[in-house]
Structure formats: C-alpha cells, structure tokens
Structure 1
C-alpha cells in the first residue's frame, strides 16, 4: 500500500509532528514542528478518537460511553478452529467501585495454526470510579483460561492488547471548519457497540473516497459541503440503545442476569428469523426491517422482559431512540422509493446541487443500512 501511494506521487513525512493548521480562502496550511509548512486543498483528520482537532470541536465534552478492551494473542491453542463474535460467561460483577458486564471475542490468529486472539471487553458510562484497564487485565488473566479451556502455563503470550474507545451520541461528527474533514474513528462513524471502526471504515470507504474526490474537484470544501460526507445516520444513532442495554447500570435494580437474558432472547429470535436478520447485526449494520422483526419476535417470545428493559435503559433514552427508529424507517423508504426516481435526474443539476444531492442519496442508503448485501 505504501509503495502504491508513493507510485501515485504521494509523499510521506515520517517522524514529523504538526503544531497548527491555518485555513485560508484557497488552501489549508499545516505547520510542522521543524518549521516546514505544507499547503493543501483539504486536510484529512485521521488521528482517531483522541484527535486534537476533534477535542477542539467537541470542546472537551465527556464521552457518552466507553468501551474498554483487554486481551492478548497467544500461542498454544490445540483446538483452534472456531471463533466467537460475542460471548458472555458471567453476570454483572463488581470491579473497583463499578459494576461491569464482561463480554468475550476470540478467533484464530493469522500468525500460526496454534495462535489465537482473545478479547475481553465491557461498556461503561465514564464517571469517577469506572474500572481501570489494569483491573480488567487482572480479571482477564483469571477468567480467560476457563473461557478457552486452557492453562496459562501452556500458552506463550505473543502480545498484550488493550484500548479505550470513547463514543459520542452526536456522531458522525460534522465538519466544523472549512477544508478540514474528520475521517475514520475521528469522525465517529463507528458503531458504539464496536471497539474501533475498521469494519465501518471499509464499509464507507468507497463512498468517502468518491465524495472527497468530488469535493476537491468541484472546490466544495466549505464546512457545510464537507459535513455532507459525515451526515446523520439513524441506524448508527439507533445503535445507542444496544450500547446502553449492554452496559451495567450502577444504580439499576434489574437482575444481574438481565443483560445475558436480553442478549440470549435477542440472538435466539434473530437465529429463528435467519441469516438476513442475524448477519447484518453481527456486522454492526442496523436495518429497519430486520430490527422491526426482531423486536416484534422478542416481545412475543418473552414479554416479561419489557419492564426490565425500561428500568435498564430509562424512559428518556427510549424516547430518543424512538425518534431515530422512526427516521430509520424514513431513510429506508427514501432510499428504496425516492432514490430511484431522483438519481436519473442528477446529471441535469448544476455541479454544486448535484454534489449535494449525491451526498443526500448516500446518506439515505448508508443511514438505513441498505448498502449492506448478504
């Protein structure tokens, strides 16, 4: 990839730090620590969750949720043929001053036939007393052998993995400045129930690459035009209910087994409904039809769980989610029926209007999850 980038005329400045960005009418200038200045039509902020530009835009706002992840890649797994997307082996427990619900993910690593990566993760509301990564790692070493049916003495630890993934309800993040666009995790385009947005980025890469190219070619580099590349997506906003439901609430009076029970009945219902319902969800793609069918079957299968859902997530969160669910239905309708009628007319529009409407059509499609194909 590096060679391909250079072959197209790209230049890589390794070991350089940027100190400031200045935006002018016809360019953006990047000031480097060594005094050099790089000018460009557009600056892509791909500095991740902790981008200093994002911190400036969000004005130091506390994340609405955090996913804490610890794990390792180890050698020594003899039965190394299967994987877990999400697995829970315990109920809510106390860690430090907080309650947490642990989840697991595991899969064979590509570095060798007996190499395996295992993650343990949890969702928390950031507040004083939240668990530390070192506390999670201590639990990980205690719980992982039982989860995988191995002894630590028989494993060679290749590398230890840990991370903090903050998420915000106000995502994706609209462009706040002319000629500067947030990209990847910096844009908040990842699902709040995933740790890291690699899968999300690959899903949106074609859309973003084409949109950025058209923005540069047409000089549509004002903040509004760039914001159309990171639009409101109701399926992403609707995912917040799942993150909330999977987070152990500190003052909740629901059963410690509630989260496991909820996940069990949800996955049971999705399995009954088949791959068209289950597979998009497992890949963090929320669609109106599958979500409606799943919720309906959950209510019919286990109606007694509904009061606990209200207690767990709270009425305000459910009301907010209902708005996103309604918009998810609207975007599905618009992408299914209005998009085919409008798309043939795009070439007759002026360049700026054409650019904007192409972004609207993309927002309907990706915001409803209809870009996903089995």
Structure 2
C-alpha cells in the first residue's frame, strides 16, 4: 500500500536491536543541559553512528510503502531502503500526520516569538510564565500575551526571551510578523533594557498546533508517530524535545519490545501513543488562557485566574506546584487546587463558565473522572497485574505492559519530586 509522497531534508533510519543500547542511550540524555542543542545533537549523532547507525543527510523521500514483512522508502535520488519500523519524528507538520488528519484544522495553536540577545547585565533569574498586561490587540485579534525568559548557555550576558499566546485558529488570527513587531515594542519594558544596548544573536518564532484527539494512534502498520508528530506534548507547552523527555524511557522500551516481538501492526503501535487523561485535561487550561474575540468577561480575567491558581498552588506546596510547572497534571494536586480556588474566590466561577463554555467543561469533566480512574488503576491494579506478567504469552505481555504504562503516565504517577 502506498501511503504518501513527502519531502525530507534529513532522513534518519534507526534499527534498535539491543535493549542495552536503548538504556545506555537514555543516560546520555539525562545529564545534558538543553541550552546548547548543537552539542546534544552532536553527542547523539556520534553515539548513533558508533552503534552502527547510518544517517542520510540531504536525501529526500518520495514515497513510503508498507508490506506484510517490511516498510520500504523510495528516495528521490533513486535509493531504496527497507525497514522493520519507520519512526516518524518530523514534528507537527509531518506529511504523514497531515495525511492521517486529512488536513483538519487544529483545535488550538500556540504562537511563539522571541530572541536570544547579548547585553543583559541582570541575568540571574528566569520566568517560567509571566504576564504583565490584560488582553491586547495584535493585528485584528484580541490576545493574552505571556512571557518566558532565562539565561542562555552561550555567554554570561546572553538571555533568551519568548513572548507567546494561545489562540483558536480562525480567519483574522494574528500573524507571526505582527506578533514579532509587538514583541520588539514590549520586550524592553519586560526586561528593563533598551534595544540599543542589546546585540541580537538570533530571532526565534514558531507555530505549535494542537489537537484534542491526541496522542495520535498509529494509522498504518510499521509506521509510528514520535514526539510532536504524535501529539504527546501538552496543549499548553511548546512541544519539542523537552516535552518528550518524560516519555523517553517508556517509548524506547516499547519500541524495542515491538520490534523484537514483531508487534508492528497499527493496533500494537497505537498502544505506544495511548489515551492519557492528564493530557486531555490540559485542554481546559489552554482554552482558559486563550482570549475570546467577542468576550463577555473582563479583559483581566485570564490574569486573575492565573493569579488565584498559582496563589493556591503555592499555599499547597511543592507536591502541587512543581508537577504543574513541569506540565504534569495529577488527580490529587488538581483536585486540591480546584477546591481551594472555589473556596478562596468563588466569584470567579461564573467567568470560567463564560470563558471556556459549557461543552468544554462537560468534556473536561469526563477526562477529570478518567484521571482519577487511571490513578486508582495505577495505584492498586498495577501491582497485581505486574506480578502476573511473566506468565502471559508474548503479545499479551506486550499489550499489558503498554496498558500499565498508560495508567501510570496518564495519571502523572511517573512524576517524582
């Protein structure tokens, strides 16, 4: 079956045949600082090649065909490559994903602009999320602007600053160019600097589409979506390698078991990208942080909501605050935060209903229930089933390993303080 035609600048085929390689490879990732991605890529490249990997740089793929015993890639340069499993790590705009989603419009988009600049004398602090203004007009749209800033690894005076916003993609949404113009206007005030005193190292911008039906199940045999292509990232995060690190151990083990056992049909591969209620529950936060174009709530509502939420989480301590800041939603901390918000500021509840809408809240309630259900399963059912795994036949063992992982990661119980 011919799946598609696509273009790639860099094609990497990975064939993992030793479990030890996967495990030792993960140790490399865990000790790196991601502020210098070029070093990370070079280390991974050297290790990959040392283990027998081959990298085809500058090649493009014209088509992918899947067969009963292999997946075959036809390169535009005339080469033919066969593989037991193809890992699609081409990100949000993967041509394979476009085919699977049939060009459907994203349910939400995070727009990001920023820069890395030299000349910040006060460069010892970081902002995870910062907002200093109410809803603003950018282009023809109303948006709530957020900031992130941190020291860069390229020098003591170098600093990276991002400005980002969440939008409902529709006609009239702000363009990146318009957002970047506003960034240059507002960033000096945010950081207490003047542009004349800064040496711009690079400009950063990006579009991060998100879909409510994520992670994306495998649609074809022998092809697995990985990273941003799978939709594994939270709707409120930027995606990228950072959002994948939490899942690296689970995915590397799962891919190894799938290849070893020849469990590369679409159903078996879909178990590696399962439904995760904590990921789906995050949709409420993105919707609450997205400014509506014709809103009947106060322009300060989003800031007020964030303020009361963070105030409550801070009162509840690190076990509640730290997972949230690292994009991990857990049932207990979430329930405690919601309860404290309703006690401390009940008058904000009607505005929440107006901002996100009844259908979204009803949908979210289902995911919140499943978050609690997965927490119970992972806490009480997991130990019982895990003790029986070695008695299961190979395919059944593979599938139950994936179910147990889905319960654990889908409830956030993989997170450790």
TM-score scaled to structure 2, two decimals?
Answer: 0.89
> What is the deviation of 1:2?
1.1
1:61-76 aligned at under 5 Å gives the runs 61-76=104-119
Separation in 2, partners of 1:233, 1:49: 19
| Equivalent of residue 367 in structure 2, options 306, 310, 324 | 324
| 2:106 is equivalent to residue 106 of structure 1 | no
1:5-84 aligned at under 5 Å gives the runs 5-84=48-127
| Equivalent of residue 339 in structure 2, options 296, 319, 325 | 296
Contact 1:67 1:123 in 2 (8 A): yes
Report what 2:383 is aligned to. 340
| Equivalent of residue 247 in structure 1, options 280, 286, 290 | 290
Separation in 2, partners of 1:9, 1:370: 35
SS of corresponding position for 1:160: strand
Name stretches of at least 5 consecutive residues in structure 1 with no aligned partner.
none
Q: Over residues 178-217 of structure 1, what are the superposed CA-to-partner deviations in whole Å (9 max), with x where a residue is unaligned?
A: 0000000000000000112322210000100000000000
Report what 1:175 is aligned to. 218
Structure 1 outlier segments of 4+, above 3 Å: none
Separation in 1, partners of 2:295, 2:412: 32
> What is the deviation of 1:95?
1.4
Separation in 1, partners of 2:196, 2:46: 42
SS of corresponding position for 1:175: coil
Contact 2:214 2:231 in 1 (8 A): yes
Contact 1:23 1:178 in 2 (8 A): yes
Contact 1:27 1:179 in 2 (8 A): yes
Separation in 2, partners of 1:330, 1:197: 29
SS of corresponding position for 2:57: coil
Separation in 2, partners of 1:159, 1:233: 36
Separation in 2, partners of 1:135, 1:195: 19
Report what 1:192 is aligned to. 235
Separation in 2, partners of 1:185, 1:155: 33
Report what 2:250 is aligned to. 207
| Equivalent of residue 133 in structure 2, options 90, 99, 104 | 90
Separation in 1, partners of 2:204, 2:239: 13
Report what 2:327 is aligned to. 284
Separation in 2, partners of 1:19, 1:334: 44
Separation in 2, partners of 1:114, 1:97: 36
Contact 2:109 2:167 in 1 (8 A): yes
> What is the deviation of 1:231?
0.1
Report what 2:33 is aligned to. none
Separation in 2, partners of 1:258, 1:244: 13
Q: Over residues 58-112 of structure 1, what are the superposed CA-to-partner deviations in whole Å (9 max), with x where a residue is unaligned?
A: 0010000000000000000001000000000110011122110000000000000
| 2:399 is equivalent to residue 356 of structure 1 | yes
Q: Over residues 100-134 of structure 1, what are the superposed CA-to-partner deviations in whole Å (9 max), with x where a residue is unaligned?
A: 00000000000000000000000000000000001
Separation in 2, partners of 1:155, 1:252: 38
State how many pairs are aligned: 374
Q: Over residues 118-162 of structure 1, what are the superposed CA-to-partner deviations in whole Å (9 max), with x where a residue is unaligned?
A: 000000000000000010111000000000000111100000000
| 2:302 is equivalent to residue 259 of structure 1 | yes
Structural RMSD (CA): 0.5
Separation in 2, partners of 1:196, 1:77: 27
| 2:318 is equivalent to residue 275 of structure 1 | yes
Separation in 2, partners of 1:159, 1:318: 40
Separation in 1, partners of 2:378, 2:223: 28
Contact 2:217 2:274 in 1 (8 A): yes
Report what 1:154 is aligned to. 197
Separation in 1, partners of 2:171, 2:118: 37
Separation in 2, partners of 1:199, 1:372: 15
Contact 1:189 1:197 in 2 (8 A): no
Report what 1:128 is aligned to. 171
